[in-house]
Amino acid sequence: MTDKLEDKQKPSISWLEFFIERAIQASGISAIVLVVLIFLFLIQEGIPAFFEVPLSSLFAARWYPIEDYFGLLPLIMGSLIVTLGAAIVSLPLGLATAIFIAEIAPAWVRDILKPFVEVLAGIPSVVIGFIGMLVFAPMMRVALNIPTGLTAFTGILLLAWMALPTIVSVAEDVLDAVPVTYRDAGLALGMTRWQVIWRIVLPDGRSGVLMALMLGVGRTIGETMTVMMVTGNAARIPTGIGDLFMPVRTMTATIAAEMGEVAQGSAHYHVLFAVGLTLFVITFIVNIAAASVVFRQVKRAERMLS
């Protein structure tokens, strides 16, 4: 840390250490370089779409690429409805589970629950999609008396299920990191257990909890296989709350389904990259928004401490 320490270590730095330092530095920089390269690649392949296809066509309501209908609206709406829905379902559930594991459950329950939740995170999305297609969608059709079980709602529930382990695991770590002394202080002042959780633990871990939610949502917006298998992939524009129980087509499923056989360099190819670019920009905005909230809170905390 201080100059003195560095001075002491200097003579012992061998070429190996120099090499390791450079390697670590390079891997750090490579993350940035990779993101920039991906972004440039998407721009290079996606921007021609805006010249080849008139803007009015890109914002039309119909997506049927083999007949040159390139309306992106149904895809964007489809992705938004499924992602937002999954976020709304998974956030309270995930947070409640994390609070239960971190604050309320006895130690032995917690020792069982935590690893199980983490195993849940490891289930491949294609397996979840398969369960959804074979078991969940038929159940939904019968239970809700809707024409088909392959709907946005089925996708929302499955995606929420996939986001939960991430949210629970990260949020629980964050809550666990809140110093015990804070809780003790609250309890000593005569606060109830609920007041301690709501007024002390959660506000203190707020930025970390937000990060957990963002990671969970991040998994849902990029998820492809599950949504492709259970949402029906009908490119229709959702207009009302009833459309939750109708099929939708997401941006990710569209790219996955169509990229395989599209002619390279065609308008359809460029439009698919434009879809990817849109997806990238949306996740980028979400991440920046989350980071700025976290950052602002850190600054406020520093101000209060100083």
Partner 1 sequence: MRPKTTSLTLKLIALLLAVLALGGCRRQSAPTAEEGAAAIIQNKGSDTMVNLALAWAEQYQLFEPHVRVAVTGGGTGTGIAALINGTVDIANASRRIKAEELEEAQGNGIEPVEFVVARDAIAVIVHPSNPVDELTLQQISDIYSGKITNWQAVGGEDRPIVLLSRETNSGTHVYFLEEVLRLGQSDNKTLFSPDTLLLPSSEGIGVEVRQNPNAIGYDGLGYVTADMKTLAVSRGAGQPYYPPTAKTVNAGEYPIARDLYMYTAGEPQGQIKAYLEWILGPAAQQTVLELGFVPISDTGATP
Other CB atoms within a 10 A radius of the CB of residue 84 amount to: 14
Instruction: Give the DSSP letter of residue 101.
Output: I
Q: Which of 50, 236, 278, 282 binds partner 1 (CB under 8 A)?
A: 236
The residue to which tokens 């976020």 are assigned:
87
Show the binding pattern over residues 139-168: x = contacts partner 1 (CB under 8 A), - = does not.
--x-----xxxx------------------
Q: Which of 80, 173, 258, 283 binds partner 1 (CB under 8 A)?
A: 258
| Closer residue to partner 1, CB minimum distance, 65 or 165 | 65
147 dihedral zone (left: phi>0; alpha: psi -120 to 50; beta): alpha
The one segment of 3-11, 29-37, 154-162, 260-268 that binds partner 1 by CB under 8 A: 260-268
Instruction: Give the DSSP letter of residue 66.
Output: G
Beta bridge partners of 248: 232
| Closer residue to partner 1, CB minimum distance, 82 or 200 | 82
- The closest of 278, 274, 268 to 65, measured between CA atoms, is 268
Cβ–Cβ under 8 Å, residues 113 and 101? yes
**66 sits near partner 1 (criterion: CB under 8 A):** yes
Other CB atoms within a 10 A radius of the CB of residue 182 amount to: 13
The one segment of 178-186, 190-198, 251-259, 294-302 that binds partner 1 by CB under 8 A: 251-259
Task: Give the length of the chain.
Answer: 306
Minimum gap (Å) between residue 246 Cβ and partner 1: 8
Minimum gap (Å) between residue 227 Cβ and partner 1: 11
Contact positions vs partner 1 (CB under 8 A): 61-62, 64-67, 69, 74, 133-134, 137-138, 141, 147-150, 228-229, 232-237, 246-247, 249, 256-258, 260-263
